[in-house]
Amino acid sequence: MVGPRRPQFVLFGSSIVQLSYSNGGWGAILADIYSRKADILLRGYYGWNSRRALQVLHQVFPKDADVQPSLVIVYFGGNDSMGPHSSGLGPHVPLNEYVENMRKIAVHLKSLSDTTRIIFLSCPPVNEARLREGTSGIFSELVRTNELCRNYSEACINLCQEMDVKVVDLWTALQKRDDWLTACFTDGVHLAAEGSKIVVEEILKVLKEADWEPCLHWKSMPTEFGEDSPYDLVAFDGKTTINPSEWTFHREIQWD
């Protein structure tokens, strides 16, 4: 534990979360945007479905923790939506059960504190042709189709509307780009930098528009140790100093 404490934002989900610090990923971008404002904590588990999430939910988010997260961004669904395997093994979770699992996750997260906010990310599309190319002998019968992704995405969005949970419709957001099939993924499933930028834009939009008190949009949050100092660089007038603590011009993209 290092101090002073900053608000904690937890990214909880499957591979799209675990890999989100790689390849210009959305987790890394959020960590940059929220530097000196919030700690972005990665709790991503490659290949997991919502059943596995439920198994560890209370360990990852203990109810009696001293500090509860200010924001939890949750993504499960990509693996759940894969077709069932004839052996009964594998990541598939039937749609109705997926929805009930996500409901339990939302109920638990809401119970952590009055100010723990939640954003769900719905299931993004995949590049089906690319996936078919990559089919290897290691995995048998794993079926991943956009029809399935869309159904799981829609079910997640409906649940969020019913439960008054904020949601990013990743299914739709990624496909707004004409070249989404080639631009958004590294391997047909996982997000490339271009796909991640869309995820960040959508998350920031939610954070900006939500009527949450306190606001969790980065521009509204205090910058740690951001006060003026005589040790900063001296201005042209030779009498004052220039405070760099809120500078953002190093960023390729000026996020809003």
Ligand X SMILES: *[C@@H]1O[C@H](CO)[C@@H](O)[C@H](O)[C@H]1NC(C)=O
Interface contacts to ligand X, rule CB under 6 A: 14-16, 47, 78-79, 91, 147-148, 151, 189-190
CB of 230 to ligand X, least distance (A): 50
Q: What is the dihedral angle through the alpha carbons of 136, 18, 149, 95, rounded to the nearest 10 degrees?
A: 110
**Catalytic one among 14, 15, 70, 153?**
14
Residues 191/184, Cβ–Cβ less than 8 Å: yes
Nearer to ligand X, 47 or 244 (CB): 47
Nearer to ligand X, 27 or 91 (CB): 91
Ranked by CB distance to ligand X, the top (closest) residue is 78
**Catalytic one among 15, 20, 80, 190?**
190
Nearer to ligand X, 38 or 99 (CB): 99
The answer to whether residue 92 is catalytic is no
How far are the Cα atoms of 48, 91, 141, 193 from residue 52, in angstroms, in the given order?
6, 9, 21, 27
Nearer to ligand X, 70 or 127 (CB): 127
Radius of gyration in angstroms for the set of CA atoms belonging to the chain, rounded to a whole number: 20
Cβ atoms within 10 Å of 91's Cβ, excluding its own? 21
CB of 15 to ligand X, least distance (A): 4
CB of 43 to ligand X, least distance (A): 14
CA–CA gap between residue 220 and residue 179 (Å, rounded):
34
The answer to whether residue 256 is catalytic is no
CB of 185 to ligand X, least distance (A): 10
Nearer to ligand X, 171 or 218 (CB): 171
What one-character-per-residue DSSP string does 37-84 give? Answer: T-EEEEEE-TT--HHHHHHHHHHHS-TT-SS--SEEEEE--TTTTSPP
**Catalytic one among 111, 187, 220, 256?**
187
The answer to whether residue 190 is catalytic is yes
Q: For strand 39-44 and strand 71-75, is the pairing parallel, antiparallel, or unpaired?
A: unpaired
H or E stretch covering 11: strand 8-13
CB of 152 to ligand X, least distance (A): 9
Backbone torsions φ then ψ of 86, nearest 5 degrees: -60, -20
Residues assigned a catalytic role: 14, 187, 190
